[in-house]
Structure 1
C-alpha cells in the first residue's frame, strides 16, 4: 500500500504539466483561427477548414477503426449536391440545407457500409471504390445534379434568418464554428468507450470478436459516423464556393483525402489537419505558377513517406519532445 501511494503521489505532478501544455497549445490554435482572416484570404481559409474536417472524418474510419475506404468522395460530393439542391431549389436556410446534406451522406454511408463491411482489407477498399463510382455515374445522369454543369450559383442565405453569409467574414466564422463542432464530435467519439472498442478492432479484430463484441455492427456504426461528418464538410464546401460539381464525387477526391491523412499522420486527431493544410496550401499557391501541382504534391508525399513514416504529426508525437509534452501515437 505504501508503494502504491508513493507512486500515485509522484505521478500526479508529472501528469499536470503535459495537460497544461496541451491546453495552452489548443488555446493558441483557436486564437490563430479566430484572427486568421486578418492576415489571409477568407475563402482560402474556409477551403482549408472544409478539407481539414473532411480529412478528420476520414481518419475516424482509417486511423481509429483500421478501414481504408476509397469511396469517401461519394459522401463529400453527395452532401454538396444535397445541400446545394436543398438551398437553391427548396429555399431552405443554410443550417437546414447542411443538415439535409449530412442526412443524405449518412444514408449513403449506411448503404455502402452495409455492403462493404462484409469484406476486409483490399476487398473492402475496392468495394467502396466501385460503389462510389456507381454514385458518380448516378450524379452524371441525374436531373437534379445538372450533369456536367453541376449546381451553380448556390445562395449562401442568412444563418438563423439574420446573419448574412454572403459576407466573407460572417461565412468564415460560421465555417469555423462548424469545423470546431465537427472536430469536437470526433474527439468525443474516439475518447468514449465506443472509440476504445474501435481501437481494439483496429489492433486485433479476432480478439475483439472473442470478447463478445459485434465487430460488424461497430464497423458499420463507425462507417456511418465517418460518412455523416464527411457530409458536414461537403455541405459547408457547397455553400462556401456556391456550387457542387462532379469533381466533388470523383475518385481523385477520395485520393486527395487519403493523401492528406497519410501526410499528417493516421491515428492522430490533429494530423489530418496538418495534412489538409499542406495539400490545400500547395494547391492554392502553385495554381498560378508554372509548376505542375500534382507532381509537386507527389514529390512532397514521397519525401514525407521516406522521412516521416508515421506522418508529420505522428513522428512528432513519437519524438522525445512529443513524449515529454504528453503526446502519444501508438498506431
Structure 2
C-alpha cells in the first residue's frame, strides 16, 4: 500500500508539473505568476507553522521588505536579475535572523505577538525610508535579462523563470522537512520539553527554520515585485501576514501542496469576485451582488470561518484524511 501511495504522489506531482508548464498558454501569465509567488510565500510560512509549530504574524516584513531591496538594486544600480533575486533572498534571511533571535525563545501567542510587533516596526521604517517611495511605492522595476542573455520582458519567458525559482524553493522545503533536521523540528513541535531533555538545542533549530522561511518569503516577494514592476506598502502591512496565514489554513497545514492550493483559492477569489458578483446580479436581477467586489475582506473572513468549521485540516488535509479513511475501510473489507 505504501508503494501505491508513493506512485500516486509521483503521478500527482507529474500531472501538476505538466499543468504548470502549459498553463501560461491558456491563462493570463501575470495571474499565474502572482499565484506562484504567493504559493511559495505560503509554503515558506507553512515550514515553520505546519512543521515546527511557530505561528508568525509578521512574515509580510520579509515578503515586502525583500521586494523593496531587490527592486531597488535592480532599478537604481542595474544589477543582473539573478543578483537582484539573491539580494532579496539574503535580505529576507537577514531580517529573519534579527526577528528570530528576539522571538525564537518564546512560544505560542508570545512568539506571534513579537513577530507582529517587529514587523510593524519594519513597516514604519519602509514607510519613511527614502528608497521605498513611501506611499507611492518603488516603481518601474526592470526585469532585465537572464544571465545577461535572455530578455525577461516577455511575460511567458519570465513565467518559466519564476516557475523554476518557485519549484526550487518548494523542493528545498520538502528536502528540509524530510531530513533529519526536519524530523527534529517535528519533535520540537510535538513536545518541545522532551526534545530539550534529549539534548537538542531547541532555540537553534527553531531559529534556523525561521531564517529559511524568511529567506524563501523574501525570494517570493522579490519575484513578485519584478513580475509586476512595483513594490508597495501593501506587501509589508500586517494584513498581508494575515492573508498568507489564511492561505496556509485554507489549503492545509502540514502538507506540501496545501498552502499552494490555498494561495490559488484566495488569489482567484480576490481577482474574480467582482466579475462573479456582476454575473450573479445579471442572473438573479439582484443589484446587491454587483457590489460584492468591494466586500472581499468580508467574503475572505467567511471563507476562513467555513474552512475552520468544515475543513479543520484545510482542503488538501481534509482530502488526505478522507482518502485514508476509505483505504482503511477497504483494507478491513478485504481482510
TM superposition score normalised by structure 2: 0.91
Summarize the alignment of residues 48-59 of structure 1 with structure 2, pairs less than 5 Å apart.
48-59=35-46
Structure 1's 45 and 262: CA in aligned 2 closer, same or farther, altered over 3 A?
Answer: same
Superposition misfits of 4+ residues, deviation over 3 angstroms: 320-325
Summarize the alignment of residues 208-219 of structure 1 with structure 2, pairs less than 5 Å apart.
208-219=195-206
Work out whether 1:318 is the aligned partner of 2:321. Answer: yes
- In 2, distance between residues paired with 1:111 and 1:201? 21
- In 2, distance between residues paired with 1:287 and 1:84? 30
- In 1, distance between residues paired with 2:12 and 2:321? 18
Quote how far apart the aligned CAs of 1:168 are.
0.5
> What is residue 299 of structure 2 aligned with on the other side?
296
> What is residue 133 of structure 1 aligned with on the other side?
120
Quote how far apart the aligned CAs of 1:324 are.
3.9
- In 2, distance between residues paired with 1:80 and 1:19? 37
> What is residue 262 of structure 1 aligned with on the other side?
249
Quote how far apart the aligned CAs of 1:302 are.
1.5
> What is residue 73 of structure 1 aligned with on the other side?
60
Quote how far apart the aligned CAs of 1:323 are.
6.9
- In 1, distance between residues paired with 2:2 and 2:102? 44
Structure 1's 114 and 15: CA in aligned 2 closer, same or farther, altered over 3 A?
Answer: same
Q: Secondary structure at the match of 1:209?
A: helix
- In 2, distance between residues paired with 1:234 and 1:323? 40
- In 1, distance between residues paired with 2:142 and 2:52? 37
Cα RMSD for the two superposed structures? 1.3
Per-residue Cα deviation, 1:31-58 (whole angstroms, up to 9, x for no partner): 0000101211000000000000000000
Contact 1:18 1:324 in 2 (8 A): no
Q: How many residues align?
A: 312
Structure number having the greater helix percentage: 2
Structure 1's 287 and 143: CA in aligned 2 closer, same or farther, altered over 3 A?
Answer: farther
Contact 1:316 1:322 in 2 (8 A): no
Q: 1:100 aligns with which of 84, 87, 101?
A: 87
Per-residue Cα deviation, 1:61-97 (whole angstroms, up to 9, x for no partner): 1001000110000000011000000100011111110
TM superposition score normalised by structure 1: 0.92
Structure 1's 296 and 179: CA in aligned 2 closer, same or farther, altered over 3 A?
Answer: same
Quote how far apart the aligned CAs of 1:118 are.
2.2
Structure 1: gaps (5+ residues): 1-13, 326-331
Structure 2: gaps (5+ residues): 278-290, 329-335
